Amino acid sequence: MLGEHGYNLYEWKQHLKHHINDNYNTANRMKTIETLSNTVSSRDFINCTEKRVKLSKHNLPITGLSSFPGSGNTWTRHLIQQMTGLATSSEYCDRSLLNNGFPYECSTDRSHMIVVKTHETKHYHSFQKLVLLIRNPYDALLSMFHITEAGHTGKPDIEKLKQRCDKLFDQLVTWFISLIGNTINEFRGPVYVIQYDELKRNMKEELKKLAVFLDVEVTPRDIDCTAKLQEGNFHRKANFTEHLDILQNVYSKEQLLTLRQVARFSEKLIQRAYGLSLNIGGQVEELLF
């Protein structure tokens, strides 16, 4: 049964049918790319050390951190841990994370964690609050291809990425949309929507807002040091021009057009359910089309 703001895959297929023939412009906006590539974020010259992550001394509302795989969930957990000093956990117990900055990755003591990672709505029944993390679909799917081919930080060749894309594209598009739609339909507690791309672009302000939703007290220094120590062990670094070239080589023109409609349809769902006007395609989409 669909709720007041109901969603189903038929609605997505109808949306795609009516918009897929929108034009694709292959011209690169090199001036903008060069500007983005050469931008250096200013950081305060303060001495910061990584916090030793610990469990909360008191019970916390069990809060999910839900995202499509490849949307920066692990990196966002790193930021939350550095900002709050509190442990995060996961529904999946990834031992490569357990030994690299996430000491409570496999812990089931969820009431003393600040957030719990998931990629699936089947875990929502155990959450009292939810952070929904959304990344632009161009990069989210590409990151998923990276992970399946080379792990969290590896770098597979373009041909392998293209093969993985052709094999998984339709399945992952459905997963991307379904996670948003099913979150809207199924989760009845408080939901905070955060965009990975906005978190990268305007980290300090986004972290402040996230801290309010998580109901934790943080200081300006906590925010500043989190921004300074933002990389963590599982965050790939990439040249923007090179990254855009990868996108244009991995995806076909038709796939890029489909991802543009994924962004538009996702924005429609979020606007209808939560009253938020998001630009899910972001700067990447502006440069691709």
Question: Tokens for 227?
Answer: 């921004």
The predicted-structure confidence for 200-224, as pLDDT tens digits, reads as follows: 999 999 999 999 999 999 999 999 9
In this structure, the dihedral spanned by the alpha carbons of residues 266, 269, 271 and 275, taken in order and rounded to 10 degrees, is: -130
Question: Is the per-residue pLDDT at 29 higher than 70?
Answer: no
- Give residue 40's pLDDT band: very low, low, confident or very high (50, 70, 90): very low
User: Mean of the pLDDT values across residues 65-94?
Assistant: 97
pLDDT of residue 99: 86
Task: List b or e across 68-84, with b for residues whose CB sees 16 or more CB atoms inside 10 angstroms.
Answer: bbbbbbbbbbbbbbbbb
Please give the mean pLDDT across all residues of the chain. Answer: 88
The predicted-structure confidence for 9-23, as pLDDT tens digits, reads as follows: 788 888 887 777 666
pLDDT of residue 5: 57
Question: Is the per-residue pLDDT at 74 higher than 80?
Answer: yes
Please give the residue that has the higher pLDDT: either 8 or 170: 170
pLDDT of residue 13: 80
pLDDT of residue 94: 93
Please give the residue that has the higher pLDDT: either 4 or 265: 265
Most confident of 27-31, 99-103, 110-114, 155-159: 110-114
Question: Is the per-residue pLDDT at 264 higher than 60?
Answer: yes
Looking at residue 24, its amino acid is Y
> Structure pTM?
0.86
pLDDT of residue 80: 98
What whole-number distance in Å separates Cα of residue 76 and Cα of residue 83? 10
The predicted-structure confidence for 150-180, as pLDDT tens digits, reads as follows: 554 556 689 999 999 999 999 999 999 999 9
CA-based Rg of the chain, rounded to a whole angstrom? 19
pLDDT of residue 54: 96
Asked if residues 135 and 199 have their Cβ atoms less than 8 Å apart, the reply is no
What whole-number distance in Å separates Cα of residue 65 and Cα of residue 97? 16
pLDDT of residue 240: 80
Question: Tokens for 144?
Answer: 């998923």
Question: Is the per-residue pLDDT at 1 higher than 50?
Answer: no
User: Mean of the pLDDT values across residues 24-31?
Assistant: 49
Please give the residue that has the higher pLDDT: either 148 or 133: 133
Instruction: For the chain, list the domains and their CATH numbers.
Output: 9-39+48-288 (3.40.50)
> Which of 129, 141, 3 lies closest to 70 in space, CA to CA?
141
SS3 string, the chain, reads CCCCCCCCHHHHHHHHHHHCCCCCCCCCCHHHHHHHHHCCCCCCCCCCCCCCCECCCCCCCCEEEEECCCCCHHHHHHHHHHHHCECEEECCCCHHHHCCCCCCCCCCCHHHCCEEEECCHHHHHHCCEEEEEECCHHHHHHHHHHHHHHCCCCCCCHHHHHHHHHHHHHHHHHHHHHHHHHHHHHCCCCEEEEEHHHHHHCHHHHHHHHHHHHCCCCCHHHHHHHHHCCCCCCCCCCCHHHHHHHHHHHCCHHHHHHHHHHHHHHHHHHHHHHCCCCCCCHHHHHHHC
Give the range among 126-130, 172-176, 226-230 with minimum mean pLDDT.
Answer: 226-230
Partners of residue 54 on adjacent β-strands: 86
